[in-house]
Amino acid sequence: MISLNDLRQFKAQGRKFSCLTCYDASMAKVMQVAEIDSILIGDSLGMTIQGHDSTLPVTVDDMVYHTQAVRRANQHAFIMTDLPFMSYATLPDAIANARAVMQAGAQMVKIEGGAWLAETVTHLTRNGVPVCMHLGLTPQSVHVFGGYKLQAKTREAADQLLEDCHALVEAGAAILLLECVPAQLGQEVAETFPHIPVIGIGAGNNTDGQVLVVQDMIGLTTGKLARFVRNFMTEQSGASAILDAFRAYHQAVQDKSFPAAEHTFQVEL
């Protein structure tokens, strides 16, 4: 089973690592065969599984249920689980809800926000809960942002995100996840923190790992896709197409052919 220390070693070795969202045992089994390095049980399940138009209705009980299903079926990948909307607004809530998903099988929790969550990160870490901090476009704050938009588009905004990263790493954050930010900023964050794995989604190909929503990368999402999505199913055929798509994604992350220029936001900072 891949551990947090393995992800740190991958970064030290310059080996890119793959991550996909997963919510059920069937997909988790195929991801194990494909040797996907990390799995995120994301609150994106609110949209992909439950049919909501945002992640906000997802509950801690939902996250526990899906984490249990994935962990039963996959003993290879490093498993992270989202704490959903408002479930870590207070320290007692953060501790209780982190305990629930860790006992369900997660190896790390992911929460969204900036430096204001430093105290929460410290308390979770002291209590044995590794924390991944999600910055940039944070879907739980979609109503604050006014939609799903590119973040940190100016030097000032990029510097603020870097300041948040410094505060959170100092507080104990073990992984940083950047969503929908300029590629230059993704590279800058990854280089600024040599001992902290940085995962990107729409953050260029110079982060240490990449994550995609599984339904997006196998073509199960209708309508307009985000710029940073690549459909790996279009390159496969036959009975093992999904497995082959996962393998192709894993390889593309490692050799840096994904994300390519067309999946990347280039902005002068």
> Does the active-site annotation cover 268?
no
SS3 178: strand
Structure tokens at 102: 């860790």
SS3 32: helix
**Backbone dihedral angles phi then psi of residue 107, each to the nearest 5 degrees:** -100, -10
- Please tell me which residue in 35, 112, 170, 179 is annotated as part of the active site: 179
Alpha helix locations (H) across the chain?
Answer: 4-13, 25-34, 45-48, 60-73, 91-103, 118-126, 142-145, 155-171, 183-192, 214-217, 241-254
Residues sharing a CB contact under 8 Å with residue 185, sequence separation 6 or more, in sequence order? 152, 158, 161, 162, 178, 203, 269
Q: How far apart are CA 206 and CA 190, in angstroms?
A: 7
Q: How far apart are CA 183 and CA 208, in angstroms?
A: 13
Return the active site residues.
179
